[in-house]
Amino acid sequence: MRLIFTLILSTFISFQIQAIKTERPNVIFILTDQWRASALGYMGNDVVQTPQLDKFASCALNFKNTVSVLPVCTPYRASLMTGRYPTSTGMFINDLYLPSEELCMAEIFKDAGYQTAYLGKWHLDGHGRINNVIPKRRQGFDFWKGLECSHDYNKMPYYENDDSEMKYWDEYSPYAISREAQKYLTEHSKNGKPFLLFVSIATPHFPHNTAPKEYMDLYSPDKLKLEPNVNEDKRESALKELQGYYAHCTATDKAIGDIIEKVKELEIFDNSIIIFTSDHGEMMGAHGFNPWMKHTAYSESSNVPFLISYPGIDNNAGKIAEAAITTPDILPSILSLSNIDIPGTIEGYDLSHIIKSPDKDSNRVALYMNPVPFGSMYKIDEYRAVRTNKYTYVKTPQGASMLFDDEKDPYQMNNLVNQPEYADIQKKLDQQLINELQRIGEDRIMERNSYLKKFGYFGRKEFREDYHIADYNNVKVVLSPHKTINIH
């Protein structure tokens, strides 16, 4: 009898251990738009007020050297959803359609038994910014209250689930989307199934003058501080934009804080992965670029915030991870944390070991790029770059163009490229860059037209009826769902 009891007990314990091992956390992914890493209190900014995210940072892990794989909206989002690089998917220009053939985040989580929900800006549909993203093009997200793209924050349109009628949120959109997220959490957190809730808030992207007045009043231009790398001729416009930018940041901080408080109120915080990040930064006059620009390899554009909390974070709460990470690394890492197998299509690294042990791999490199700068940024050189916990290294088709010691020179004002005393460091970074490119099938840095031709974006005559026209640098470009582009 004792033997039988022992066997039953051991079997029960085994089942319990297995259940714990395979238990899958909820995933709440909060993505903002154009929020650079330096515009947060917990990142050392003593002007902008972000009390809710500062509070969240104290119970999360902060990856301070996170870069946007391509600091523009659509390319970042495509890379985030697929775990792949822009030169692999062809998603390196805004307003393109992410093909249904690409295996995406929600499809993977859905196959693993998750409920999937999306709220807010999508910007991956390529059928026009105000058109409905119909259900079959939502890449696995079932619950839906969103729109392709709008920055009309005080009258933002959206579509709801299967309803093809356009609706409007009747308040400042970060607040409205936050309320929708809280409602979803309340209704879906207790039904026994894990969920992936993706919350996409379009602020603090311009227009900056549409932020709530109560927050605009917090930031009188005469009390604002510009970074020392802002050119004199950009200072006036930068100060004007910075007021609204910070106001959007503080208002969005409140909206995000309300979501996190709801998670705690529902007692699901300890069994949830919560991520806060942004798709790219904002130049705000640095290095001579206009305040609203991105695209560039400089930190103002490429360095984005990344906070993550997860079940069992206790010993790492409030810590800083020095290891550099890039956008394709995010999906495989959260899949690993969720006990979901990582598909072979994914090119990013599983960095869950760093998330669990922040001191690991602190010297690793993170690859980012802009193979085809477009629009008003057309004239900047296409580039590939790597960031480490200390350096930023940038290379164009013509060769090495920038090298910065980000520890000694955080505003990247002293270009060290080709200086003899940094020759060994540059050589090492160059080899690491080459290694990363070769790993994703790039044997060299090609010029932009090579990629336009490779993905069929250049010189095509045919296009489908369901297209729209964008204007890149005064060149009319026809974008179809199958990524056909005509240049007239």
Q: Tens of pLDDT along the chain (488 residues)?
A: 454 444 444 444 433 333 333 489 999 999 999 999 999 999 999 999 999 999 999 999 999 999 999 999 999 999 999 999 999 999 999 999 999 999 999 999 999 999 999 999 999 999 999 999 999 999 999 999 999 999 999 999 999 999 999 999 999 999 999 999 999 999 999 888 999 999 999 999 999 999 999 999 999 988 899 999 999 999 999 999 999 999 999 999 999 999 999 999 999 999 999 999 999 999 999 999 999 999 999 999 999 999 999 999 999 999 999 999 999 999 999 999 999 999 999 999 999 999 999 999 999 999 999 999 988 898 899 999 999 999 999 999 999 999 999 999 999 999 999 999 999 999 999 999 999 999 999 988 989 889 988 988 865 332 233 333 343 333 334 343 333 333 32
Clarify whether 123 is annotated catalytic.
yes
SS3 474: coil
Q: Please give the pLDDT value at position 458.
A: 66
The residue range of the domain holding 467 is 456-488
Q: What CATH number is given to the structural domain containing 403?
A: 3.30.1120.10
Cα–Cα distance measured from residue 64 to residue 308, given in angstroms and rounded to the nearest whole number: 12
Q: Identify whether 277 is part of a domain.
A: yes
Clarify whether 151 is annotated catalytic.
no
Q: What CATH number is given to the structural domain containing 304?
A: 3.40.720.10
251 and 193, same structural domain? yes
Torsion of CA 49, 52, 54, 57, to 10 degrees: -160
- Give me the number of domains the chain comprises: 3
- Catalytic choice (59, 104, 123, 188): 123
For the purposes of burial, counting CB atoms within 10 Å of the CB of 432, is it exposed (0-12), middle (13-18) or buried (19 or more)?
middle
Q: Identify whether 59 is part of a domain.
A: yes
Q: Identify whether 14 is part of a domain.
A: no
355 and 424, same structural domain? no
For the purposes of burial, counting CB atoms within 10 Å of the CB of 376, is it exposed (0-12), middle (13-18) or buried (19 or more)?
middle
Q: Which ranges in 309-447 belong to alpha helices (H)?
A: 330-337, 352-356, 423-439
41: nearest Cα among 51, 31, 56:
51
Q: How many CA atoms lie within 13 A of 293 on its CB side?
A: 25
Q: Which segments of 91-245 are extended strands (E)?
A: 115-121, 143-147, 157-160, 167-168, 195-204
312 and 379, same structural domain? no
Q: How many CA atoms lie within 13 A of 458 on its CB side?
A: 10
353 and 208, same structural domain? yes
Q: Please give the pLDDT value at position 488.
A: 26
